[in-house]
């Protein structure tokens, strides 16, 4: 099904903005954060106007309404990724906190010196640094699946690493730089056959691809609302219930307890024992609205539109002399096109593009080791979502030609 992009764009107020007089916004930075539809903005506004109260503690009308809305959001998020129960969804601040929660609770309770954690060379810092900290603290060994020149994971090396009986495999469902869509289900199956649990960083895959945690049989899945039309400040961690029940709490305080005495406490039931203090209630309401919006569009439709966009973008970018795009062919990647322009620093590219209203990202995109792998310090990254149009790719390309003229 083709996406009615013209109609969808009307739902996003910011897309009608001019970044300066006569220069309309061309937003190609959705991998960093997506723009928000009116449905999300209005849902949060309505909550603050009519329902604002703390949750789980009060018996008055507002408290009960707020609690119901918060828990409805959890249920909607569970349904979106096809979890069997809302009890398996823990609200966090973002995917980064979700991964850290696993590292600080499950991993520190289970892993010991010499245990192996398998990662990949394409990981975001959020799925590297927590494990590096654990390795320094506990003597855990980190092994890495290499990335091929094409931008794919070397599954032969992955298979050989699994022969050493790792305890955990943690990898990105989709690279935020290369756009590579990893064979998630196959990698999880292989991890389980080796006796390891599997954590997927779904910060990019959940917003862009259909995800079914039961079909994948994934143990942990981390993702963020702001990368899927929702607000900043809230994300989610999916964990199989039997694993979540065995994990110790993450933070201590209010609401994560069943009872407290001066020298002891009894933790709350899942998922509440991992949500200490007042949570991001309005943000959860916005998250629910975002998931509802995406569900109406259909994630298969979202994925197909992005594939069409990135195929067109690669075709246009490759016509420009001096441009080199990282990552695999369009059919193996999501809506991400990170590139270098010979003789011009990515920050200069991005700054000049901004004068034409084209918003892209420049830098290492929190994936320094991956850039080191390819012998570069930074890239310029254009990324697409449901509101992106081919005409915007044309404006990107025209802007790059202007960059080339400026730098001769």
d(CA 295, CA 293) in angstroms, rounded, equals: 5
The CA–CA distances, whole Å, from 113 to 130, 142, 199, 340 equal 16, 11, 20, 41
d(CA 407, CA 236) in angstroms, rounded, equals: 44
DSSP per position, 83-151: -S-GGGEEEESSHHHHHHHHIIIIIHHH--TT-EEEEETT--GGGTHHHHHHHHHH-PEEEEEPBPTTS
d(CA 198, CA 184) in angstroms, rounded, equals: 10
Residues 293, 127, 129: CA angle, nearest 5 degrees: 140
Whether residue 271 is preceded by a cis peptide bond, meaning omega within 30 degrees of 0, is yes
Residue 51: phi, psi to the nearest 5? -130, 0
Residue 368: both structure tokens together: 């320094």
d(CA 43, CA 329) in angstroms, rounded, equals: 39
d(CA 272, CA 280) in angstroms, rounded, equals: 13
Give catalytic residues, as residue numbers.
Answer: 366
d(CA 161, CA 347) in angstroms, rounded, equals: 37
d(CA 102, CA 86) in angstroms, rounded, equals: 18
3-class secondary-structure state, position 221: strand
**Among 352, 357, 322, 355, residue whose Cα is nearest residue 339:** 322
DSSP per position, 181-214: B--HHHHHHHHHHTT-EEEEE-TTHHHHS---HH
d(CA 198, CA 212) in angstroms, rounded, equals: 15
Residue 195 neighbours by CB distance under 10 Å: 10
The CA–CA distances, whole Å, from 309 to 138, 262, 398, 406 equal 45, 59, 17, 28
3-class secondary-structure state, position 142: strand
Judge contact between 51 and 66, C-beta under 8 A.
yes
């Amino acid at each position: 099904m083709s996406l009615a992009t013209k109609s969808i764009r009307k739902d996003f107020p910011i897309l009608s903005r001019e970044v300066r007089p006569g220069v309309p916004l061309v937003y190609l930075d959705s991998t960093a954060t997506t723009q928000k539809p009116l449905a999300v903005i209005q849902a949060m506004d309505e909550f603050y106007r009519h329902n604002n109260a703390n949750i789980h503690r009060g018996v008055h009308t507002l408290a009960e309404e707020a609690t119901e809305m918060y828990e409805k959001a959890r249920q909607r998020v569970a349904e979106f990724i096809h979890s069997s129960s809302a009890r398996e969804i823990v609200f966090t601040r973002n995917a980064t906190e979700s991964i850290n929660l696993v590292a600080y609770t499950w991993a520190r309770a289970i892993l010991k010196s010499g245990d192996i954690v398998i990662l990949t060379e394409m990981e975001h810092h959020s799925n590297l640094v927590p494990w590096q900290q654990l390795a320094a603290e506990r003597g855990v060994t980190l092994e890495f699946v290499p990335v091929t020149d094409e931008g794919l994971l070397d599954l032969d090396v992955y298979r050989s690493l699994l022969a050493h009986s790792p305890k955990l495999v943690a990898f990105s469902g989709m690279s935020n730089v290369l756009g590579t869509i990893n064979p998630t289900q196959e990698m999880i199956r292989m991890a389980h056959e080796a006796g390891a649990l599997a954590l997927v960083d779904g910060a990019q895959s959940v917003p862009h691809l259909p995800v079914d945690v039961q079909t994948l049989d994934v143990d942990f899945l981390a993702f963020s609302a702001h990368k899927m039309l929702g607000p900043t400040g809230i994300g989610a961690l999916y964990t199989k219930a039997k694993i979540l029940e065995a994990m110790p709490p993450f933070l201590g305080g209010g609401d994560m307890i069943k009872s407290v005495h001066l020298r002891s406490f009894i933790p709350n039931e899942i998922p509440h024992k991992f949500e200490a203090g007042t949570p991001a209630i309005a943000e959860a309401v916005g998250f629910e609205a975002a998931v509802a919006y995406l569900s109406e569009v259909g994630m298969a439709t979202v994925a197909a539109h992005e594939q069409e966009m990135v195929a067109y973008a690669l075709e246009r970018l490759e016509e420009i002399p001096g441009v080199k795009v990282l990552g695999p062919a369009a059919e193996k990647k999501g809506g991400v096109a990170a590139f270098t322009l010979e003789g011009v620093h990515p920050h200069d590219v991005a700054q000049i593009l901004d004068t034409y209203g084209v918003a892209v990202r420049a830098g290492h995109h929190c994936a320094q080791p991956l850039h080191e792998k390819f012998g570069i310090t930074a890239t310029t990254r254009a990324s697409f979502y449901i509101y992106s149009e081919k005409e915007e790719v044309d404006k990107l390309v025209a802007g790059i030609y202007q960059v080339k003229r400026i730098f001769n």
